[in-house]
């Protein structure tokens, strides 16, 4: 029987790369995203092993429904909102808190569902945090704090899994900022402007960068292994944080 993964935020960026990598291993991937055109493009690219689900990943009870329907052995939580890139004093509370309402809420909903309707023992839930959770991100409002909270929520879920003897791994992955996604490109452009340099100069100063494909391979290496805790990801590879 073909194993199944669920990937949120599957239509672009890291979520798309993770979906491609998991499909490449022979898994069936249920990809969740809001944009139908982008999602259809991923389905056309990846073929019949990719099942497109057009929904907002923060929608209550969506996680329970898809867990019951597909019985995944891997869940990868990549969904999130594009933060507004501006100095603190130019944010409204709505723009500042955008990542909390999208990124954090969807992780909260999905890890809770994985505990209430337990995945099979040995299953893995991998939540995408960010390197910003370690270093901050002064131009993206509450983004860094939201990503730090994702790491905390994932660790809380791991404790609950252990306490209940569920055998589910909960892992957070913190990729370094990269210009190779839409979100990363917007952030790099904003920080280049703040530094008074052009984007190419700023990107060159970053050295080797994380690619979406590296994120996909890293997720695959963590899923189903004896991995636990949190991992930073740079171009040099994975580094355990706890």
Structure tokens at 148: 């730090």
* 192, part of any domain: no
pLDDT tens column, 10-56: 999 999 999 999 999 999 999 999 999 999 999 999 999 999 999 99
Are 156 and 114 within 8 A, CB to CB? no
* 120, part of any domain: yes
Q: Please give the average per-residue pLDDT across 86-109, as a whole number.
A: 97
Structure tokens at 23: 């499909």
- Scored b (16 or more CB within 10 A) or e, 44-54 reads eebeebbbbbe
Compute the distance between CA of residue 203 and CA of residue 219 in angstroms, rounded to an integer.
25
Are 187 and 177 within 8 A, CB to CB? yes
- Domain assignment of residue 11, given as a range: 4-178+211-230
* 130, part of any domain: yes
Paired with 230 in beta bridges are 172
**Burial of 114: CB neighbours in 10 Å, binned 0-12, 13-18, 19+:** buried
pLDDT tens column, 124-158: 999 999 999 999 999 999 999 999 999 999 999 99
CATH at residue 96? 3.40.50.720
């Amino acid at each position: 029987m073909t194993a199944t993964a669920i990937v949120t935020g599957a239509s672009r960026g890291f979520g798309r790369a993770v979906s491609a990598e998991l499909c490449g291993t022979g898994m069936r991937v249920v990809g969740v995203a809001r944009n139908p055109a982008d999602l259809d493009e991923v389905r056309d690219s990846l073929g019949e092993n990719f099942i497109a689900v057009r929904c907002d990943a923060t929608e209550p009870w969506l996680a329970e429904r898809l867990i019951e329907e597909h019985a995944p052995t891997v869940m990868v939580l990549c969904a999130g909102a594009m933060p507004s890139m501006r100095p603190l004093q130019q944010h409204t509370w709505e723009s500042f808190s955008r990542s909390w309402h999208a990124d954090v809420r969807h992780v909260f909903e999905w890890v809770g569902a994985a505990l209430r309707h337990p995945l099979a023992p040995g299953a893995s839930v991998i939540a995408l945090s960010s390197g910003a959770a370690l270093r901050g991100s002064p131009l993206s409002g509450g983004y860094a704090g939201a990503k730090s909270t994702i790491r905390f929520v994932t660790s809380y879920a791991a404790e609950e899994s252990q306490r209940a003897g569920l055998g589910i791994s909960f892992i957070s992955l913190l990729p370094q900022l990269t210009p190779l996604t839409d979100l990363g490109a917007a952030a790099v452009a904003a920080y280049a402007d703040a530094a008074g340099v052009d984007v190419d100069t700023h990107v060159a100063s970053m050295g080797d960068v994380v690619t979406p494909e590296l994120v996909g391979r890293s997720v695959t290496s963590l899923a189903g292994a004896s991995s636990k805790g949190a991992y930073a990801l740079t171009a040099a590879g994975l580094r355990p944080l706890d």
